[in-house]
Amino acid sequence: MIRAAYLHIPFCTHICHYCDFNKVFLKGQPVMEYLQAMEQEMKRTIAQFPTDQLHTIFVGGGTPTALDIRQLDFLLTSIHNSLPFVADDVEFTLEANPNELSREKLQLLKEAGVNRLSIGVQTFDDELLKHIGRTHRQTDVLRALEAAKAVGFSNVSIDLMYGLPGQTLAQLQTDLALAFSLDVQHISAYSLIIEPKTVFYNLMRKGNLSLPDQEEEAEMYEEIMKKMEENKYNQYELSNYTRPGFESRHNLTYWNNEEYYGIGAGAHSYVNGTRNVNARPLKKYIELIQQGKLPYIEHHEVSETEQMEEEMFLGLRKIEGVAKQRFYEKFHRSVHDVFAEVIENEKEKGLLEETATHLRLTHRGKLLGNEVFQAFLGTT
């Protein structure tokens, strides 16, 4: 049974230099028409792929908080009208930009049942924020967090980035120290990845982007893991750290290789063993909805072999690793029956270790995770 839904809001008031998500400038866009199309997609999706309740809802982007109060209210009302869930149990997350979290918006979110905020901080260094194309500043973050607490939010996550152009280890250490002083419940810390069709990609191609080298980036990751542990944040996934009980249930859906709905332009879904991709351009997405269709432009029925591979490279992102019993229950085969040679090779390299119940990355394996994940692809 499907327990998770992702909703994509593609509008931004500014495009960050590193972002390759499906997004458009807010100004002049058919925002209400898009939100109405999303409402229809939600209803149509639930009708075709029913579930009894949802445990997690995640509204991401783009920037959901780029919506004005009227638009945000319509979105939240349409979620309540279209998706079945138990309000007392659901983890309802909304991504936010610090400089767009007004007290009025926070109050609306709280009253509509949003109980988790994911705030895009990236760095507290104002010069670095300018350099990566962010429009908020450190003071905006502090103000937003204070307002969120005042409204009653008690589950707040912040995103940090490292390996940024010109970023030093000392700057990262300052970011971490300030993050810990804010006493948020969850911190995600992602390394910068240069993606095609971004400002940074174009600068890199021209030789105008100065990035930390691999050794410096690894040192930053080591520092993050060390400081998180010292400050009582448990690393439960390669890039995610939490106070006890505040793990992201929605993201665990992905890492546990479970199915989920994906609503909105460019959204991905995984339902009935099939991965679907929605139309990305707003006009095409809205047209497909108005024609009475689901807006899928790609379908891929996931074979059992692919499911087993995904179980490994997604599950190994979790610090606890892949549960051997869970693998057997899902596929009626032991993980060693399927991947014996790969497992032994990665163990010999010192990248993988085994307990009585799990296969998991070693400390060194965390630094070279992509190599381990790649080893499980195309081997069965």
pLDDT-derived band at 17 (thresholds 50, 70, 90) equals: confident
Residue 86: its pLDDT value, please? 65
**What are the boundaries of each domain within the chain?**
4-255, 304-375
Task: Specify the CATH class of 304-375 in words.
Answer: mainly alpha
Answer with the residue of higher pLDDT: 31 or 204: 31
Q: Which amino acid is at 356?
A: A
Note the pLDDT tens digit of each residue in 304-336: 999 999 999 999 999 999 999 999 999 999 999
Mean pLDDT of the chain: 95
Put residue 16 in one of left, alpha, beta given phi > 0 → left and psi -120 to 50 → alpha. beta
Residue 208: its pLDDT value, please? 84
The whole-number average pLDDT for the span 68-86 is 93
Tokens read off for 188: 């995600």
Residue 20: its pLDDT value, please? 74
The whole-number average pLDDT for the span 225-240 is 98
The whole-number average pLDDT for the span 21-36 is 91
The whole-number average pLDDT for the span 178-194 is 96
- Contact criterion met (CB below 8 Å) for 183 and 155: no
Torsion angle defined by CA atoms of residues 347, 350, 351 and 356, in that order, rounded to the nearest 10 degrees: 50
- Asked whether the predicted pLDDT for residue 207 surpasses 90, the reply is no
Residue 203: its pLDDT value, please? 82
Same fold: 4-255 with 304-375: no
Share of the chain above pLDDT 70, in %: 99
- Asked whether the predicted pLDDT for residue 158 surpasses 90, the reply is yes
Question: Exposed (0-12), middle (13-18) or buried (19+): which is 277, by Cβ within 10 Å?
Answer: middle
Residue 190: its pLDDT value, please? 97
- Asked whether the predicted pLDDT for residue 108 surpasses 90, the reply is yes
Helix (H, G, I), strand (E, B) or coil at 197: coil
pLDDT-derived band at 79 (thresholds 50, 70, 90) equals: very high
Residue 87: its pLDDT value, please? 58
Residue 265: its pLDDT value, please? 98
Residue 199: its pLDDT value, please? 82
- Asked whether the predicted pLDDT for residue 22 surpasses 90, the reply is no
CA–chain centroid gap for 25, Å, is 21
Task: Specify the CATH class of 4-255 in words.
Answer: alpha beta
Residue 23: its pLDDT value, please? 84
* Alpha-helical regions (H) of 256-318: 282-290, 304-315
The whole-number average pLDDT for the span 107-115 is 97
Residue 25: its pLDDT value, please? 85
pLDDT-derived band at 359 (thresholds 50, 70, 90) equals: very high
- Asked whether the predicted pLDDT for residue 206 surpasses 80, the reply is yes
